[in-house]
Copies of this chain bind each other. A is one copy, B any other.
């Protein structure tokens, strides 16, 4: 069955549906003909942005709600066939300042959603957005799913617990679920308003505002990046596949690059901005994990998915998007 056949008329739900990946996924699912329900809390600074569904407003249903609210989730999951579970608090720094809130959103809410499915819609399929952050500092590269889970911050711990819940609910209660451990996702519709949700969006904003990027240390730390359209295709594939249930998969890019080279490429592609090297801030260094890139071959083998957008192409598209829409991602009043 093709994705179009699978998703046409399919009742799907995306938690965090107005956020970065969630909204890009919404665009794709609308294109595939799905019946799309977006659930988002629109908590300021978390990434939800109504502009993200510009162009598909009339073809999706938006329900503003917080995934922490059990009775709401019990209701909303009822008729949904595939649930893309992307709602989260994604700032590592915030998680260390206010660990209880991170726990409520990334840990407790996952149980709430899964309990909602268990008791009100056990036939639902759930695809959970996990993160490479759960691995912590890698023992060796590339990192496979056999690598120990060893988070370096509270956010990583809670994301790991959220992921484990999904696998246990699959194995014990038959709520089909899997987890995608995303590496660094970049592209249109990402929050650029502050720098607490990772560096990539922030770097893009700085070059577009012709400002100077500060690269920590010598910038030699390596990451792999996955363009958001490729990440979206991974969710689409996982949602339609029965071969992924009960497992967690790396989903990363097939190119990896040092921070300094990435920044140089951004400045070159933008034709503006600059960068300098600075010493590591202590609070960032304490939770840094050095170089990281993932081996995504397990997910590729299982689903046929593969990243298709090269780095230069992805960043060219990204810069072009934000050039056209920057105020919607920078101004406080845009949400």
Whether A149 and B148, one on each chain, are in contact in the complex, defined by CB atoms closer than 8 angstroms, is yes
Question: Nearest Cβ distance between residue A301 and chain B, in whole angstroms?
Answer: 19
Whether A286 and B171, one on each chain, are in contact in the complex, defined by CB atoms closer than 8 angstroms, is yes
Asked if A99 is an interface residue, CB under 8 A from chain B, the answer is: yes
Which of chain B's residues have a CB closer than 8 A to the CB of A165?
99, 154, 157
Whether A103 and B107, one on each chain, are in contact in the complex, defined by CB atoms closer than 8 angstroms, is yes
Measured CA separation A88–B100 after assembly (Å): 18
Asked if A295 is an interface residue, CB under 8 A from chain B, the answer is: no
Which among A103, A112, A149 has the highest number of chain B CB atoms within 10 Å? A103
A residues 39-54 near B (Cβ < 8 Å) are none
Q: Whose C-beta in chain B lies nearest to the C-beta of A283?
A: B172
Chain A 152-178 interface 0/1 with B at a Cβ cutoff of 8 Å (1 = within): 111011101100110010011000000
Question: Nearest Cβ distance between residue A174 and chain B, in whole angstroms?
Answer: 10
Measured CA separation A171–B161 after assembly (Å): 19
Measured CA separation A168–B102 after assembly (Å): 15
Whether B146 and A148, one on each chain, are in contact in the complex, defined by CB atoms closer than 8 angstroms, is yes
Partner of A148, one of B148, B152, B158: B148
Which among A99, A103, A168 has the highest number of chain B CB atoms within 10 Å? A168
Whether A108 and B115, one on each chain, are in contact in the complex, defined by CB atoms closer than 8 angstroms, is no
Whether A168 and B157, one on each chain, are in contact in the complex, defined by CB atoms closer than 8 angstroms, is yes
Given A286-B172, A287-B172: A111 and B99 interface contact (C-beta under 8 Å):
yes
Given A100-B108, A146-B148: A161 and B157 interface contact (C-beta under 8 Å):
yes
Whether A171 and B152, one on each chain, are in contact in the complex, defined by CB atoms closer than 8 angstroms, is yes
Partner of A168, one of B111, B148, B153, B161: B153
Question: Nearest Cβ distance between residue A298 and chain B, in whole angstroms?
Answer: 14
Which among A149, A151, A161 has the highest number of chain B CB atoms within 10 Å? A161
Asked if A30 is an interface residue, CB under 8 A from chain B, the answer is: no
Partner of A99, one of B115, B153, B156: B115
Asked if A96 is an interface residue, CB under 8 A from chain B, the answer is: yes
Which of chain B's residues have a CB closer than 8 A to the CB of A152?
168, 171-172
Whether B151 and A149, one on each chain, are in contact in the complex, defined by CB atoms closer than 8 angstroms, is no
Measured CA separation A103–B107 after assembly (Å): 9
A residues 118-174 near B (Cβ < 8 Å) are 146, 148-154, 156-158, 160-161, 164-165, 168, 171-172
Partner of A107, one of B115, B146, B161, B171: B161
A residues 281-307 near B (Cβ < 8 Å) are 286-287
Whether B161 and A158, one on each chain, are in contact in the complex, defined by CB atoms closer than 8 angstroms, is yes
A-B contact pairs, 8 of them (CB 8 A): A100-B108, A103-B111, A107-B107, A148-B149, A152-B168, A152-B172, A153-B172, A172-B287
Beyond the given A96-B172, A152-B168, A160-B161, please list 18 additional residue pairs across the A-B interface where CB-CB is below 8 A: A99-B111, A100-B108, A100-B112, A100-B115, A103-B107, A107-B107, A111-B154, A146-B148, A149-B149, A152-B171, A152-B172, A153-B168, A154-B168, A157-B161, A157-B168, A160-B164, A171-B286, A172-B286
Query: Top 4 nearest A-B pairs by Cβ distance?
Result: A157-B164, A161-B161, A172-B286, A99-B111
Chain A: residues with CB nearer than 8 A to chain B? 96, 99-100, 103, 107-108, 111-112, 115, 146, 148-154, 156-158, 160-161, 164-165, 168, 171-172, 286-287
